[in-house]
Chains A and B, each alone.
Chain A
């Protein structure tokens, strides 16, 4: 009796394995949560158009890099580009997918979105804990006539490791030598001051609750939560507003042509109206001709041709046309 029972158990276990395989999708990917909303919209549109299934799991950039290196997925996604040496060591190729912008969002009663102007060094010193009050003369210098209260500044940063933090700290490292030497850049850093919220949601929720706080979130979150954001002085010396146009200009003015494997972080881009904290999401793939890789390239080919509307509706900025052409040339060269 026990033998037949055991046999049934084994048979059941084996059957469930086969069932699991039968439902496998055509393309699987994993990585950054930043692109997850766009990915799910794209994959449902792609399925409607072609009948092919794309399954993307939002497990974080670190997980995406690990999975594609191990070859368990067809493509990985990361908010932080991998250097060409690391790519070639694992036989990987890399290309950008979408662009987004990170904005300093704050909670100061009576100050409207886009009214406050901040200089890069002032932003860095706020996050270093050197500027502690909102009526500091250095904030007042670029905001003449604005009624700045004598309120304590509470810094809010991301508590989880994130691509948003990576791009933000990368920007601060570029504009502040002191930030670069004492904190540096990374998905998780040792923040000198402040409190940490989990995800863009967590940071927005803290900023919304605490008067006098300042944090950094993707633009879409600041808009959704009605948090005022500041203008920033960019590399060209102009105070710019965060918008699709200024993000796109940052992406277009960045020097992609000379970036091997698209290894380029486009913060502090040179364009006259470029938003300085613009971030790119990257896709990682094996340079081989496996069916999964080919199917993934087909998917992204479709995305660049048909996915711009969906990306825009979700608050992302599609890649400029010149960059898409460069990516297609890169595929032709590397994924045969």
Chain B
């Protein structure tokens, strides 16, 4: 209140005060950005520090060995790393096309009265806690997988060469495929709602010009809408991918939590997040260090996957520019 009364009396003082506030505001903004970076680096480094003893004893072996044996203090994280990547890949394989379909339907095809309610419903899906997805996967999806899906895959696709190796296994129901399916449902709302938002930003005259030239709905979506919104769409996909890589609770319910190596998507495996969540409570000394190091590896995996995706994106846009 004192500022206001003094500044009306003296304009020079007001300018000085404004400049000071502007500087303070800039510092505040910088601080928020730095805060994120410091937190990120702090979290990653503290995990690396916690796991340094295991990193020293195992070295690169930690990334290449599939022998995870707490009794003999041998730690090779290949199985959880593989499980994390495969479940996330399955999830994205399903979720990206489905989300694209949802978003395009809602912005182009659906009758106007439907768009609002369905859009909100999809955003609501994002708010459901992951434990609910886990329980649904456990009590609903797993029995269906066990009774129908897995026996069918095992007899029809299992005998095929190469691809068959992915679809062989006993009907247990818990495994990488089940986890991938649950994850895909969990990430759809993230990707779909981002896509819907950005599809709505495409200028109507672009689309209408294409329609006027006789383009079909598919051509408009693929050749006009998608290229126009590509970077934002890929941002949405990253958001979903990040969640799929790090999801813990839902996966722990349905993946089967086994550290034995298997190529089959139908057999139980584990992911980095699920393994940490399961074992951290009772872990002491070396085992605790190994789990902390595993947490650092999740950082690395997420970072590498996202960096690769970004690299692909920049290559793509460079090609676009050259054309």
Query: Does B71 lie within 8 Å of A66, measured CB to CB?
Result: no
Q: Mark B274-289, 1 if CB is under 8 A from A, else 0.
A: 1000110111100110
Closest residue of chain A to B24, judged by CB?
Answer: A2
What chain B residues lie within 8 Å of A60 (beta carbons)?
A: 281-282
What chain B residues lie within 8 Å of A65 (beta carbons)?
A: 284
8 Å CB interface, B217-256 against A: 252-253, 256
Roughly how many angstroms separate A32 CA and B68 CA in the complex, as a whole number? 24
Interface residue A53 (Cβ < 8 Å from any Cβ of B): no
Closest residue of chain A to B69, judged by CB?
Answer: A190
Query: Does A210 lie within 8 Å of B173, measured CB to CB?
Result: yes
Segment among B28-36, B109-117, B138-146, B153-161 that sits at the interface with chain A = B138-146
Roughly how many angstroms separate A191 CA and B253 CA in the complex, as a whole number? 18
Question: Number of A residues whose C-beta is below 8 Å from B?
Answer: 35
Query: Does A160 lie within 8 Å of B71, measured CB to CB?
Result: no
What chain A residues lie within 8 Å of B70 (beta carbons)?
A: 161, 186-190
Q: Mark A153-195, 1 if CB is under 8 A from B, else 0.
A: 0100001111100000000000000000001111111111111
Interface residue B302 (Cβ < 8 Å from any Cβ of A): no
What chain B residues lie within 8 Å of A66 (beta carbons)?
A: 284
Roughly how many angstroms separate A152 CA and B172 CA in the complex, as a whole number? 10
What chain A residues lie within 8 Å of B279 (beta carbons)?
A: 159-161, 188
8 Å CB interface, A197-247 against B: 197-198, 205-206, 209-210
Interface residue A196 (Cβ < 8 Å from any Cβ of B): yes
Query: Does B268 lie within 8 Å of A62, measured CB to CB?
Result: no
Query: Does A159 lie within 8 Å of B257, measured CB to CB?
Result: yes
Q: Which of A1, A59, A154, A183 contacts B281 (CB 8 A)?
A: A59
What chain A residues lie within 8 Å of B281 (beta carbons)?
A: 59-60, 62-63, 160-161
Interface residue B129 (Cβ < 8 Å from any Cβ of A): no
Roughly how many angstroms separate A303 CA and B185 CA in the complex, as a whole number? 49
Interface residue B174 (Cβ < 8 Å from any Cβ of A): yes
Chief secondary structure at chain A's binding surface: loop
B150 to chain A, nearest CB (A): 12
Roughly how many angstroms separate A187 CA and B2 CA in the complex, as a whole number? 65
Interface size class of B (residues with CB under 8 A): 20 to 34
A290 to chain B, nearest CB (A): 24
Closest residue of chain B to A154, judged by CB?
Answer: B172
What chain B residues lie within 8 Å of A1 (beta carbons)?
A: 2
Query: Does A161 lie within 8 Å of B143, measured CB to CB?
Result: no
Roughly how many angstroms separate A205 CA and B67 CA in the complex, as a whole number? 28
Query: Does A205 lie within 8 Å of B260, measured CB to CB?
Result: no
Most buried by A among B69, B284, B288: B284
Query: Does B284 lie within 8 Å of A195, measured CB to CB?
Result: no
Interface residue A43 (Cβ < 8 Å from any Cβ of B): no
B13 to chain A, nearest CB (A): 16
Roughly how many angstroms separate A60 CA and B278 CA in the complex, as a whole number? 11
8 Å CB interface, B150-180 against A: 170, 172-174
Interface residue B298 (Cβ < 8 Å from any Cβ of A): no
Interface residue B259 (Cβ < 8 Å from any Cβ of A): yes
Interface residue A61 (Cβ < 8 Å from any Cβ of B): yes
What chain A residues lie within 8 Å of B257 (beta carbons)?
A: 159, 195-198
A159 to chain B, nearest CB (A): 3
What chain B residues lie within 8 Å of A193 (beta carbons)?
A: 260
What chain A residues lie within 8 Å of B143 (beta carbons)?
A: 209
Roughly how many angstroms separate A184 CA and B72 CA in the complex, as a whole number? 8
Most buried by A among B170, B260, B282: B282
B250 to chain A, nearest CB (A): 12
Q: Mark B176-216, 1 if CB is under 8 A from A, else 0.
A: 00000000000000000000000000000000000000000
B170 to chain A, nearest CB (A): 6
What chain B residues lie within 8 Å of A198 (beta carbons)?
A: 252-253, 257, 278
Q: Mark B42-80, 1 if CB is under 8 A from A, else 0.
A: 000000000000000000000000011111100000000
8 Å CB interface, A257-315 against B: none
A251 to chain B, nearest CB (A): 23
Query: Does B71 lie within 8 Å of A190, measured CB to CB?
Result: yes
Query: Does B173 lie within 8 Å of A196, measured CB to CB?
Result: no
Interface residue B264 (Cβ < 8 Å from any Cβ of A): no
B276 to chain A, nearest CB (A): 11
Q: Which of A152, A185, A195 contacts B268 (CB 8 A)?
A: A195
Roughly how many angstroms separate A163 CA and B256 CA in the complex, as a whole number? 20
Query: Does A210 lie within 8 Å of B172, measured CB to CB?
Result: yes
Interface residue B258 (Cβ < 8 Å from any Cβ of A): yes
Query: Does B71 lie within 8 Å of A195, measured CB to CB?
Result: no
Roughly how many angstroms separate A62 CA and B286 CA in the complex, as a whole number? 12
Interface pairs (5), CB distance under 8 Å: A66-B284, A152-B170, A159-B270, A195-B268, A209-B142
- Chain B residues with CB under 8 Å of chain A are 2, 67-72, 138, 142-143, 146, 170, 172-174, 252-253, 256-260, 268, 270, 274, 278-279, 281-284, 287-288
Contacts A162-B282, A188-B279, A196-B257 given; 20 further ones with Cβ under 8 A? A61-B282, A62-B284, A159-B270, A160-B281, A161-B287, A187-B282, A187-B283, A188-B282, A190-B67, A190-B68, A190-B69, A190-B259, A191-B258, A195-B172, A195-B256, A196-B268, A209-B142, A209-B143, A209-B146, A210-B172
Which 5 pairs between the two chains have the least Cβ-Cβ distance? A161-B282, A196-B257, A159-B257, A60-B281, A195-B256
